[in-house]
Every structure is written in C-alpha cells, then in structure tokens.
Copies of this chain bind each other. A is one copy, B any other.
Amino acid sequence: MKRELKVAVMGYGTVGRGVCEILCEKRELLAARSDVDEVSLQYVLDIKDLTGEPVEALWVRSVDTIVSDPSVNVVVETMGGTEPAFTFCMKCLNAGKNVITSNKQLVAEKGEALFQAARANNVSFRFGAAVCGGIPVLRTTVYGLAANRMRSFCGILNGTTNFILSKMINENMSFATALKLAQENGYAEADPAADVDGHDACRKTAILCAIMFGGHVYPDEISTEGISKITLEDVAYVNDFGGKIKLLGRGKQLEDGSVCAMVSPAVIRNDSMLANVEGVYNAVLLHGDKIGTVMLYGQGAGKDATASAVVADILDCGRKPGFDTAYSWEAADKKRMADPDEQTLRLYVRGFANQENTLSELRESFGSLTVLHRENAPGNEIAFITDEDKEKALTEQLRQVKSFAAASVIRLVSET
C-alpha cells in the first residue's frame, strides 16, 4: 500500500506560506526523509482571498472541507491565537488527523485538552516550532536527551527583545529608538507588548517547563518581567562588571519536585555561552542529570526557520504514526510552583543616595558588595552587585537602607 502524507495548512500567514513553499519545492526529498512514498499539499485554509497566490488552486474557506476529506492525514495550524485555532485543531484531532502547530499561545493555554484529544484518537500532536522557531529545542529534550532527568533550562527565548538589547549594548541606542528600529525591520509588532513585556518568552517558558518536568504550566503561574525599564545607564554599569543584560526565560525542578520558573532581565557574564547571542537569535541551555549542559542556538523566528521546524514535525508523522506520549505532559494538578524569592542569587542594583554615607550604609546592610562605575554618572548615583543570598533576604537588606532609592534591580544569572 502506498504510504502518503497528505497535508492541509490552516493559516496562510508568514509561517504557513513558508510551510507551503517547502512542501511544494522538496516533495521527493521530504518523502525520502519521512520514510513514505509521497508528501503532498492538499488544502490551504484562510479567510483571506488567496487568488493569485501559488496555492490558489488549493484554497478552501471552511475547516469542514479538510475535516471531511478522509485522505488528509496531517493538518498544520499556523493561524495563531487561541480561537478559532483551538476549535479547528480539536475538530481535526477528533477526525483522526495528525495536527502540527507553531502556535505557542495555543499550546501554553490549551495543551492539556489537545493532548487528550490526540491520545483518544491515537494521532500525533506536535508543536516543535512553538518554542524558538527553527531551533529543535523540544525534540532534543524529548528524544535526544531521553536518557536524562531534566533539571533546568535557561534561555534567550525572544528575538525581538534580544535585538533591542543588542542595539542598546553594542550601539548605545536608547530603548525607545531600538524598539522603533525593531518595528521598522518587522521584528516587533505595532503593539510590542507581547514581546517587550515578556509574555511571548513566558509562553515558551511555560511549554519548556511542561515538557521537561511534566505537568501543564500556565503562563500566569510564571513571574514575568519585560525589558522596558532597562536603561543605558544599566547597560554601562553591567559592561563595567564584564557582563551584558539579556531577557532570560528560566525553569528549574527543585529537589521536592516543585518547579521554579520566571522570565526577567538578567545580568550574565561576557564569557557565558549566551553572551554572544546577538540580534534576533535565540539560544537555550538545557541541563540534564546525565548530559550535563547542552546549548542550542539559532533563529527563533522568521518564515523559513519556523517552517523548517513545522516540516520536521510533519515528517515525524510518517516515521512514527500515532500518539507519542513522550511528546506530551500530564494535567496541571501534579505540579507545584516554587517561590522564586527563595532562590539564591546575586543582584545588580542601581539607584540614588540621599546622604553622604549611603554607600557605607549599603555596605553595612549587605555585608559586602562590588561597586560598579560608568562615565559621567551623577555624583549621587550608586550601582553595585551584591554577594549571593536568597532574593528575599537581599530585597530586605536593600529596603533597610532608607537613604538609598533603587532605580533598577536585575538578577545576576551564573548558570549560563
């Protein structure tokens, strides 16, 4: 019997277009690599008029056309957002079709229900492109590191904010100017909040926590802080320390099984593997009990890179049909989130002194600290890095120095 992958793509935006291009350009190569006789594109669903597009002949307007065609066995969802993506994916899964998505919001918010439907129908539900676009982070965790208990991860998960921070660090550009440039280059939306405030990185952090530690993690369970408060003054002081400011998504499973996760700006050292990750690139460090540290780096967004990850997932449907328990997680109630305040770390602090002896008071409160310098600083500006302690204790020590008004507090992350 001829083994075929007959694919429908829902959503002809940037990523959907990229997927269609690869499927049409590389039919023979893909069939060989997926261990099937043929891979073909059957339908492209969009509310937009696709007249004049290369896929015009495949355009359909209703998901029911796809659902009711028994020959379609793989459906790609690249629409974005939770609805109607969720309803459409559920229909396809319940019709016995494998579903591949690049939609991180869908997976982070509705993963449990989708896994349940996929399991019940014994079909694949894969979403490699939802975390770091083209970088095969999820499949590496699930398959390549399958011999490991995963302990933690730490990564630059959002290209837009990394582009902005790179411009601030390397070209002394202000946050506002760098954001404008990101928008002009198409890296940031007109409303940049999802990127700049950390929500996009938060969704990826939630998915990584779930796949690595088991148990659904919802985005609103993760303490999330963006980069809009980072100033060029902070960039200069951190440079004096021999470091850089990056927006990191992090997760760790503690000894008691609870999970500590957060998204926030962080100071990392220049000799860290994450330090040279510039512009729109992403990178993630994964820590497992047997492998130690592995890092993956590449393009976390963009048409072709993201489509590359979607197509890899499509091909897996040929190689390993049916539901893959390893590429899923349990319901949320098995998980307990730990308080980030209880973690031990160092803090970068910048602020202003109201008294002559404020620095002495800070030294007294913290025991010891590393004072930083920058050119043309106002006389009453003080910036320093604390020694290591629980974040809660450091915050309290800072609060006790009444003559110091903190303007910036950034975590120093050493496991990078």
Chain A residues at the B interface, C-beta cutoff of 8 Å: 18, 22, 26, 29-30, 32-35, 128, 134-136, 139-140, 142-149, 271-273, 275-278, 283, 288, 290-299, 302, 304-305, 307-309, 311-312, 315-316, 319-320, 324-326
Contacts and interface: CB of A to CB of B under 8 A. Distances in A.
A139 B144 contact: yes
B140 A315 contact: no
User: 8 closest pairs, A vs B, by CB?
Assistant: A136-B144, A147-B311, A294-B298, A295-B297, A290-B308, A290-B304, A147-B308, A33-B146
A154 to B, nearest CB: 13
A147 B290 contact: no
A308 B288 contact: yes
A29 B149 contact: yes
A292 B271 contact: no
22 contacts: A18-B290, A29-B149, A34-B146, A35-B326, A135-B294, A136-B140, A136-B145, A140-B144, A147-B315, A148-B308, A276-B276, A290-B308, A290-B311, A291-B304, A291-B308, A293-B297, A293-B299, A294-B297, A295-B296, A295-B297, A319-B326, A320-B320
A294 to B, nearest CB: 4
B139 A143 contact: yes
Given A147-B26, A276-B271, A304 B326 contact: no
Contacts of A291: 134, 298-299, 304-305, 308
A296 B294 contact: yes
B312 A145 contact: yes
A290 B22 contact: yes
A35 B305 contact: no
B316 A143 contact: yes
- Among A18, A128, A148, max chain B CB count under 10 A is at A148
A80 to B, nearest CB: 20
A244 to B, nearest CB: 12
A135 B272 CA distance: 18
Contacts of A312: 143-147
A34 to B, nearest CB: 7
B298 A22 contact: no
A149 to B, nearest CB: 7
A272 B281 CA distance: 13
Contacts of A304: 290-292
A164 to B, nearest CB: 18
Contacts of A316: 143
Contacts of A290: 18, 22, 134, 304-305, 307-308, 311
A308 B139 contact: no
A297 B320 contact: no
A273 B271 CA distance: 11
- Among A146, A273, A304, A312, max chain B CB count under 10 A is at A146
Contacts of A305: 290-292
Contacts of A18: 290
Given A294-B134, A298-B294, A307 B147 contact: yes
A62 to B, nearest CB: 28
Nearest to A19: B147
Contacts of A299: 291-293
Nearest to A295: B297
Contacts of A277: 273
B307 A298 contact: no
Nearest to A23: B147
A324 B283 CA distance: 30
A414 to B, nearest CB: 14
Nearest to A138: B144
A143 B309 CA distance: 10
A283 B298 CA distance: 13
